[in-house]
Amino acid sequence: MLLKVEALSKHFGGLKAVDGVDFHVNQGEIVAIIGPNGSGKSTLFNLISGTLRPTTGKVLFQGDEITAHKPYRVAALGIKRTFQTTTLFDQLRVVDNLAIGRRVNTKTGFWDALFRTARWRRERDETVGKVLELSGIIGLGDKFFDFVTTLSQEAQKRLAIGIALASEPGLLLLDEPTAGINMEETAEIIELIRKVREAGTTICLIEHKMRMVMGLADRIIVLNYGRKIAEGTPQEISGNQVVIEAYLGGKSIA
Amino acid sequence: MHEYLRKKWFYFLLLLLALVFPLFGPSRLIFTMLILSGIWSIATLGLNLILGYTGQASLAHGAFFGIGAYAVGIMTTRLGLSFWIALPLASFLCAAIGFLIGLPTLRTKGAYFAISTLAFGIIVFIIAGNWSDLTGGHMGLPAIPRPNPIPLPLAGEISFTSPAARYYLVLFFLLLTLWVMHRVVFSLQGYSFMAIRNNENLAEAVGINTFRNKLLSFMVANFFAGLAGGLYAMQLGALSPFITHHVLTFNLIIYLILGGVATLAGPIIGAITVPFIVDALFAIGPYRMVIFGVLLIVSIIYFPRGLMGGLTSLWNRTADYYRHRKDGVRHAAES
């Protein structure tokens, strides 16, 4: 079990944004978290990645507790995330973005840079090599030296995934990787996500587009009003009465 | 090496000009202004690291400049230390105080960081003006000795009574500062700084310890503020509390913005041109500040990366023009 979340809750005053959620992610899986707007999906990601501190509950990664670790420590342990709105270093170029994404694997500090130590040279060469390879994987090889603002929406989304992938994380959290792009472009992003999984990265993603999730995920977790209301394979979820009511507006909720 | 020279010939030409400049026998006034410009350049390069590359608007830079100046002044007059020992000690003192001040202030962001560092600057100004036993208070700190001469094996010794010697001394430290900045900025460490400037949340999410990196940047920036302050004490030979005043910080920010934020040449261009413009406009008295206000606004709107940014884009455009012309000629020849 790669990631385990136990009875995780986040209360904002009286609002229970996430309310006692349990779930786990196995090595090599694609797990999708779905749910209506405001059901606590993004809050859940923020709790796992350390952006928010949970009110109660535990997060375990590879068996070690990482609850309420700072975001940079969570990232250093190998959990990387993307944001719902495409978030990039928009003053810089593609190569810079990817190199910064890999910064967590390098230890070059002030003195290394000043005296150009062996480590400085080794890590620089290694970074250039890895980043060049990665730019090909995310399909931005020909835009290596382009400024980020000149890229299309969809290319920017691929770059955001690339920044997270650059450090070769054990677990990738994708917050709505296809929000705001058309069907054709969505297909390309899905293709990339599949490729990433085949390369051995476990993925947990939040998604709105049901059709995309059905074809992609191994397991689906459904949230509503901060609670987990269902979990199962895409077939099980699509036939689940509780889920259908939550989405289409039934009378009672869980 | 040949390739290196071919690509960087312009910089070597500038360096050569700077080196031979004293041979043309400039007046004492020009010398003094250039020495001061060199000192402002070092301070502005430091400010550029924390403000330009790391994106944290420290308004305590002038205060650290003043601390460096007073540290050298006090160590050389009251403690009787040699300038050559006092200068590095003062610089490291500024880095250390930067560490202590950074611990609380760097936990705040944006305008709050600016305000808290400004508050620290004002405290330093008050201390410099009122702790008379240490700093001489508002009467100032006079009679700071010149650096001890450096003995040379054959040619006798280098003494620092002549402006030319002090000019070369400041030039040496300016090149040292530039070297440090160049190495740090164009490295993975520099990437960490720029990541924080560009998007602190994303920087944190990719695994950069933003607080630690901001603290590092703040310490290095203050080290060079202190170095510049120490050289200032050496050049003037006397200090007044106004050297720690926040007006100095804003002067440095003007050099940085007009010269070019987040470029290495910008701070130097700004620190050389702006004081000369101020001097040229001396005749119109206080109205020159109005002209500066307009210049600053025009620069921020039309040249957000200052003179250096403007020059670079002009250079690129000319290069493009000539490339296209050449292409055109080749097309004509081929068809």
pLDDT in tens, B72-123: 999 999 898 999 999 999 999 999 999 999 999 999 999 999 999 999 999 9
Q: What pLDDT is stored for residue A29 in this prediction?
A: 93
Find the mean pLDDT for residues A217-235.
91
Amino acid identity, position B129: G
The reply to whether residue A103 touches residue B197, judged by beta carbons under 8 angstroms, is no
Quick: pLDDT tens for B228-246.
Answer: 999 999 999 989 999 999 8
Q: Is A57 helix (H, G, I), strand (E, B) or coil?
A: strand
Please report, for residues A208, A219, A220, A228, A250, the alpha-carbon distance to residue A254 in angstroms, rounded to integers and kept in the order given: 20, 20, 17, 9, 10
Quick: pLDDT tens for B13-35.
Answer: 888 988 888 888 788 888 999 99
Share of chain B above pLDDT 70, in %: 96
Find the mean pLDDT for residues A232-240.
88
What residue ranges define each of the domains in chain A, with the CATH number in brackets?
A: 3-90+152-248 (3.40.50.300)
Chain A residues near residue B194 by CB distance under 8 angstroms: 89, 91-92, 96, 100
Helical spans, DSSP H, in chain B: 2-7, 9-20, 28-47, 61-77, 83-105, 111-130, 132-135, 163-185, 188-198, 200-205, 210-236, 246-259, 265-280, 288-302, 306-334
What is the C-alpha separation between B15 and B26, in angstroms, rounded?
17
**Interchain CB contact of B98 with A (< 8 Å):** no
Chain B residues near residue A156 by CB distance under 8 angstroms: none
What is the C-alpha separation between A4 and A23, in angstroms, rounded?
6
Find the mean pLDDT for residues B249-266.
91
Beta pairing, strands A171-175 & A202-206: parallel
Does the pLDDT value for residue B43 go beyond 50?
yes
Chain A residues near residue B188 by CB distance under 8 angstroms: 99, 103, 106, 108, 113, 120, 123-124, 127
Higher pLDDT, A68 or B101: B101
Per-residue exposure over B162-171, b if at least 16 CB sit within 10 Å of its own CB, e if not? ebebbbbbbb
What is the C-alpha separation between A167 and A131, in angstroms, rounded?
10
Identify whether the C-beta of residue A86 lies closer than 8 Å to the C-beta of residue B224.
Answer: no
Interface size, chain A vs chain B, as Cβ–Cβ contacts under 8 Å: 98
Distance from CA of B293 to the nearest CA of A (A): 27
Q: What pLDDT is stored for residue B281 in this prediction?
A: 81
The reply to whether residue B204 touches residue A91, judged by beta carbons under 8 angstroms, is no
Quick: pLDDT tens for B208-227.
Answer: 999 999 999 999 999 999 99
Q: What pLDDT is stored for residue B328 in this prediction?
A: 60
Find the mean pLDDT for residues B181-194.
96
Q: What's chain A's average pLDDT?
A: 91
Ranges A124-138, A225-239, B148-162, B257-271: which has the least confidence: B148-162
What CATH number belongs to B27-149+160-294?
A: 1.10.3470
Find the mean pLDDT for residues A5-34.
93
Q: What pLDDT is stored for residue A87 in this prediction?
A: 93
Where do the domains of chain B lie? 27-149+160-294, 305-335
The reply to whether residue A83 touches residue B192, judged by beta carbons under 8 angstroms, is no
Distance from CA of B56 to the nearest CA of A (A): 16
What is the C-alpha separation between B285 and B280, in angstroms, rounded?
10
Helical spans, DSSP H, in chain A: 41-49, 71-77, 94-101, 110-115, 118-137, 153-165, 183-198, 210-216, 234-238, 241-248
The reply to whether residue B184 touches residue A114, judged by beta carbons under 8 angstroms, is yes
What is the C-alpha separation between A84 and A180, in angstroms, rounded?
10
Q: Is the ipTM of this complex over 0.85?
A: yes
What is the C-alpha separation between A181 and A183, in angstroms, rounded?
7
Quick: pLDDT tens for B47-64.
Answer: 999 999 999 999 999 999
Does the pLDDT value for residue A250 go beyond 60?
no
Residue B39: both structure tokens together: 């000192």
Amino acid identity, position A22: D
The reply to whether residue A89 touches residue B216, judged by beta carbons under 8 angstroms, is no
Query: Residue A168: CA atoms inside 13 Å, Cβ hemisphere, count?
Result: 9
Please report, for residues A45, A74, A77, B240, the alpha-carbon distance to residue A65 in angstroms, rounded to integers and kept in the order given: 16, 11, 11, 56
Q: Closest-CA residue in chain A for B182?
A: A114
Chain B residues near residue A96 by CB distance under 8 angstroms: 191, 194
According to DSSP, the residues that pair with A25 across neighbouring strands are A3
Per-residue exposure over A47-63, b if at least 16 CB sit within 10 Å of its own CB, e if not? bbbbbbebeebebbbee
Does the pLDDT value for residue B1 go beyond 70?
no
What is the C-alpha separation between A184 and A206, in angstroms, rounded?
19
What is the C-alpha separation between B67 and B249, in angstroms, rounded?
13
Does the pLDDT value for residue A249 go beyond 70?
no
Residues in A lying within 8 Å of B, measured between beta carbons: 49, 51, 70-72, 75-76, 80-81, 83, 87-92, 96, 99-101, 103-104, 106, 108-110, 112-114, 116, 120, 123-124, 127, 163-164, 166-167
Residue A119 neighbours by CB distance under 10 Å:
16
Residue B172: both structure tokens together: 């040496």
Q: What pLDDT is stored for residue A246 in this prediction?
A: 78
Please report, for residues A50, B70, B203, B248, the alpha-carbon distance to residue B234 in angstroms, rounded to integers and kept in the order given: 50, 10, 41, 18
Q: What pLDDT is stored for residue B311 in this prediction?
A: 79
Of A241, A186, A244, the C-alpha closest to A216 is: A186
Identify whether the C-beta of residue A203 lies closer than 8 Å to the C-beta of residue A172.
Answer: yes
Q: What pLDDT is stored for residue A254 in this prediction?
A: 40
Residue from B202, B214, B316 to probe the interface with A (highest A Cβ count within 10 Å): B202
What is the C-alpha separation between B35 and A11, in angstroms, rounded?
60
Confidence of residue B289 (pLDDT cuts 50, 70, 90): confident
- Partner-chain residue, chosen from B188, B206, B220, that has the shortest CB–CB distance to A124: B188
Confidence of residue B136 (pLDDT cuts 50, 70, 90): confident
The reply to whether residue B194 touches residue A96, judged by beta carbons under 8 angstroms, is yes
Does the pLDDT value for residue B173 go beyond 50?
yes
Q: What pLDDT is stored for residue A252 in this prediction?
A: 47
Share of chain B above pLDDT 90, in %: 57
- Partner-chain residue, chosen from B183, B195, B210, that has the shortest CB–CB distance to A89: B195
Does the pLDDT value for residue B124 go beyond 70?
yes
The reply to whether residue A91 touches residue B197, judged by beta carbons under 8 angstroms, is yes
Q: Phi and psi for B261 in degrees, rounded to 5?
A: -70, 145
Looking at residue B51, the DSSP 8-state letter turns out to be I
Quick: pLDDT tens for A178-216.
Answer: 888 888 888 889 999 999 999 999 999 998 777 788 889
Confidence of residue A242 (pLDDT cuts 50, 70, 90): confident
pTM, 2 dp: 0.91
Looking at residue B282, the DSSP 8-state letter turns out to be G
Quick: pLDDT tens for A76-103.
Answer: 999 999 999 999 999 999 999 999 999 9
Residue B331 CA to chain centroid, in angstroms?
48
Does the pLDDT value for residue B335 go beyond 60?
no
The reply to whether residue A49 touches residue B205, judged by beta carbons under 8 angstroms, is yes
Does the pLDDT value for residue A253 go beyond 60?
no
Chain B residues near residue A61 by CB distance under 8 angstroms: none
The reply to whether residue A113 touches residue B192, judged by beta carbons under 8 angstroms, is no
